[in-house]
Structure 1
Amino acid sequence: MISDDIGKRILCLSFNQTNTCLAVGSTKGFRIIRLEDSKTIIKRDEDSQSNFPGGFSLVIPVFSTPLICLVGSSSNARYPFNTVYFWDDYKTSSEAEIHFRFEVKNALVRRDRIVIILEKITYVYVLNNLQALASIETISNEKGVGAISYDKDIFVLVSLSKEPGHLRMENFYTNEVKSGQVHENPITYVAIDFIGSIGASASAQGTIIRVFDCAKLEVLYELRRGSRPAEISSIAFSPNQNYLVVTSNKSTVHAWKLEKKEKSYTSMISRYLPNYFQYSRSLGKLSLKTEIDLTCPYSNITGPKACFFTENEFFIACLDGNIHKCSIHPVSGEISIAQSLQYFGLSSVSVVERGRTWNNIE
C-alpha cells in the first residue's frame, strides 16, 4: 500500500480526444483540467473524499462529456486494476463496468467504440451497450501500446502484432487488416493522427522514431531522437501532420517538420552511407529540468506528455505539476515556452520516503 506520508502523487496523465483537456489520475482520485486556461473543471481527489483511496492508474475522458473511463491502481481496493469503470461525473457515480481476469494496461475511447488493452489481448467494444466486437491476440504488451483514430467516419486501430517489432493495423469500417515490421526491437509506444492516416512508433531503445503510412504500414520517415536509449512517454502529430513532437523520460522534447524530400544527388548515394547518416534529426529540442517529480513507484507514467492545439503550438504536461504552452518557429524549428501554468498545487511540506524527498500536495 502507498504510505499516507507520500501525500497525493501523480499516477497517470492523458489528454482527451480533441486535446482540450488534461486528465490527471492520482493516489487520491482524479481531476480534469481545461488546457486553455489551466482551470480545474472536475476535481475528485480531495483529501476529505474517501471514495477513491489508492487512486487510478488510468483516467480517460470521453471528449468533453461528463463520461470518464477509470481503472484503479494496484493499491485501490474499491476500484481494482482489472476493471474498466464508466464514471458519469454529472451523476457522480459509476454507471457501468467491464471486468477482466487480468490487469487493464490501457484504454482508447472513441464516440462509438472503446478499445481495452490487456497484456496479451486487445478487445474492442461498442461504447453505448458494451457489446464485444473483436479480440486481437498480441505479443506481450506490458506498456499497453495501441492507438486509434477519432474521426467519426474512420475507425483505425493500430496494435502490437504477435512478433517483436511488428504492428497490426485494422480498419473496422473497410475490414482491411495489415501487419508488418516497423522496428527491430520491441515497440513501446505508438500514436496515429486524428483520421488514422499516418502513425509513429518507438522501440525500447527510444533513439529512432519511425513515421509510417497506416494503410500500408510502410515507413515514411526515420527520425533520430538521440544516440542514448530513452523511454518515449508521448508522440503527438500536429492537426495537419506537418509537425511531430516526441517526449521522453529524459525530460526532453524533440520536434520535427515532416517534409516530403525531393530526389537529389545526395539521396541517390544515401544507400551507400551508414544508416546513422540517413536519419532526419530534430529541428528543435527543449530540455525540461524537472526539479520535483510528483510521481511515485506505483505510477505508470515515466515522462512528460504532449498534445497539439494549433499547427505549431502544443502543450506539455510535466511531472512537476506544470503545463507549458509551447510553440515551434516555422523557419528555425526552435521550440519556445510561451507560458507555464500549474495543474497540481504544491505545499511547502516535505517528507522522506525510501531515501528520497517528496513534496506533499494539498
Structure 2
Amino acid sequence: MAHNLPPSPPDSPSSTTTTPPNPNPNPTLLHLSFNQDSRYFAAGTNRGFRIYNCDPFREFFRREFDGGGGIGIVRMLFGFNISALVGGGSEPQYPSNKVMIWDDNEGRCIVELSFRSEVKSVRLRRDRIVVVLDQKIFVYNFSDLKLFHQIETAPNPKGLCEVSQLSGSMVLVCPGLQKGQVRIEHYALKRSKYVVAHDSRIACFALTHDGRLLATASSKGTLVRIFNTLDGSLLQEVRRGADRAEIYCLAFSSSAQWLAASSAKGTVHVFRLKLDSGSLGIERSRRASEPNLSTAPAVSSLSFIKGVLPKYFSSEWSLAQFHLQEGCNYIVAFGHEKDTVVILGMDGSFYRCQFNPVAGGEMTQLEYHNVLKPEESS
C-alpha cells in the first residue's frame, strides 16, 4: 500500500489528457457519478473511464487501459486529478475488492486499499476516503491512510452512503442495522443518531453539502422524507406518485431550496422545500397579507375532498417533471445555471433541462448528448 499522497487537487481541471481511441467505437457503460459540486461527471466503461464537463457539455479526459480495462466504480475528488477506481465488468482492470486511488498528474495509481469482499461504493472528501462493503463501511484519513472509523450496517448491496463536503465537520449517513433505519454520524459532535425513516428498506438517500438535511426514500418509492440530521426530526414529506416505483437518485440543490428525484417510471421530479436558508427546518417567512405563490407547495387540486379520497390526494406533489425512457437508471443533479437540472442515463444519455420555479409543469429540454457517441448528439 502506497502512503505518499500529493497535495489536494485543484477544483477544476487544468489540462486535457487523452488516450488514443479504441478501434471499436462502442464501449459499454458500467458506472456514472457526479463530482461533489456537480460541475463534472465521470463514466466508467469496460475499457477505462472518462471525465466530462456538465455546462457546457464536453469530454475533458479519457483513460483507456490495455487488456481488460473495466471500471465498475469511478468517483472524483472535485477536479479530476484524483479519482477512486474499482474494477468492474467482464474484464475488470482491478479486482472488485480493491479501491485504487488514481492520480492523473502521475498517470498511475498511488494508493491501493484491499478488502475481504466486493467494494460496493466509494465516497471521497478532501480529508477522508470512505469505502462501502455489503455490511461494513471503512473511513480512512486521506493524509496517512490510517483507519479512522468502522461501521456495521444492514445488508447494503447498493453501497448506500453519503458524506458532507464542507471542510471540518464531517457528517456521514448510511443504513442502520434495522429495516428502514438510517444512521447519522456527526464526527465533530462525536454523536450517532438513528432515525427510522421508513417502514420498508431504504432504497436511496441524499445529504446536503453541509450535512444538515437528509432526504430518504424506501423501496416502495412513493414518498420522500426530509429530516434534520442534528435531531432526527421529520421536516417535510413529498410524494413522487401513488404507485410503487424504485427511486434511483435524490439530489438537493446547493441552496437546499429544491430536491430532485429520478425513478424507474422514467420521470425526474423537482420538489420545492419549505426550509429556511440555514437548512434548519424553519419555513420561509411569508407576509400574512401578501401570500407568496412562489413558495407555496404544489398540492393536489382535489384536496378539498381529502377526507373522502386517499391520503395521497392531499400530499405535496412535485412542482416540475421531465419524462424519459421508463426502466432506464438515471441519476440527477442541479445545474449551475439557475433552475436547471442535469440528468445522466445508463443508456449514455445526457440531458440538461430547465424548470419554471413558479408555474412548474413539464421541464424544457435545453441540451441532449450521447456521452459515448457525442457525434450522434442533437
Deviation by residue 1:140-196 (Cα, 9 ceiling, x = unmatched): 101111111101132100111100000110111221211020000000111101111
Superposed counterparts of 1:29-108, under 5 Å: 29-45=48-64, 49-50=65-66, 53-108=68-123
Instruction: Tell me which residue corresponds to 1:342.
Output: 370
Check whether the contact 2:100–2:112 (CA below 8 A) recurs between aligned residues. Answer: yes
CA RMSD, 1 decimal: 2.7
Instruction: Tell me which residue corresponds to 1:158.
Output: 173
Check whether the contact 2:46–2:89 (CA below 8 A) recurs between aligned residues. Answer: no
- Given candidates 5, 20, 36, the residue that maps to 1:17 is 36
Gaps of 5+ in 1: 294-301, 349-362
Structure with the bigger RCO (C-alpha within 8 Å, sep 6+) is 1
Distance across 1 between alignment mates of 2:348 and 2:73: 17
SS of 1:276 mapped into structure 2 = helix
The answer to which of 224-233 and 191-200 deviates more is 224-233
SS of 2:312 mapped into structure 1 = helix
1:161–1:271 CA distance, 2 compared to 1 (3 A): farther
Instruction: Tell me which residue corresponds to 1:306.
Output: 332
Structure 1 runs of 4+ with >3 Å offset: 260-263, 269-275
- Given candidates 44, 47, 56, the residue that maps to 1:28 is 47
Please state how far the C-alpha of 1:104 moved relative to its aligned partner. Answer: 0.6
Please state how far the C-alpha of 1:249 moved relative to its aligned partner. Answer: 2.5
SS of 1:66 mapped into structure 2 = strand
Distance across 2 between alignment mates of 1:284 and 1:10: 29
Check whether the contact 1:250–1:303 (CA below 8 A) recurs between aligned residues. Answer: no
Deviation by residue 1:109-134 (Cα, 9 ceiling, x = unmatched): 11101111111111111112211011
Instruction: Tell me which residue corresponds to 2:12.
Output: none
Distance across 2 between alignment mates of 1:35 and 1:284: 21
Check whether the contact 2:29–2:347 (CA below 8 A) recurs between aligned residues. Answer: no
Check whether the contact 2:30–2:89 (CA below 8 A) recurs between aligned residues. Answer: no
SS of 2:165 mapped into structure 1 = coil
Matched, 1:325 2:352: yes
Check whether the contact 2:248–2:263 (CA below 8 A) recurs between aligned residues. Answer: yes
TM-score, length-scaled by structure 1: 0.84
1:77–1:240 CA distance, 2 compared to 1 (3 A): closer
SS of 1:81 mapped into structure 2 = coil
- Given candidates 2, 27, 49, the residue that maps to 1:8 is 27
Please state how far the C-alpha of 1:321 moved relative to its aligned partner. Answer: 2.2
Superposed counterparts of 1:164-179, under 5 Å: 164-179=179-194
Gaps of 5+ in 2: 1-23, 275-282, 289-298
1:169–1:273 CA distance, 2 compared to 1 (3 A): farther
Instruction: Tell me which residue corresponds to 1:299.
Output: none
1:83–1:312 CA distance, 2 compared to 1 (3 A): same
Please state how far the C-alpha of 1:279 moved relative to its aligned partner. Answer: 2.6
TM-score, length-scaled by structure 2: 0.80
Distance across 2 between alignment mates of 1:42 and 1:90: 12
Check whether the contact 1:74–1:81 (CA below 8 A) recurs between aligned residues. Answer: no
Matched, 1:195 2:210: yes
1:35–1:339 CA distance, 2 compared to 1 (3 A): same
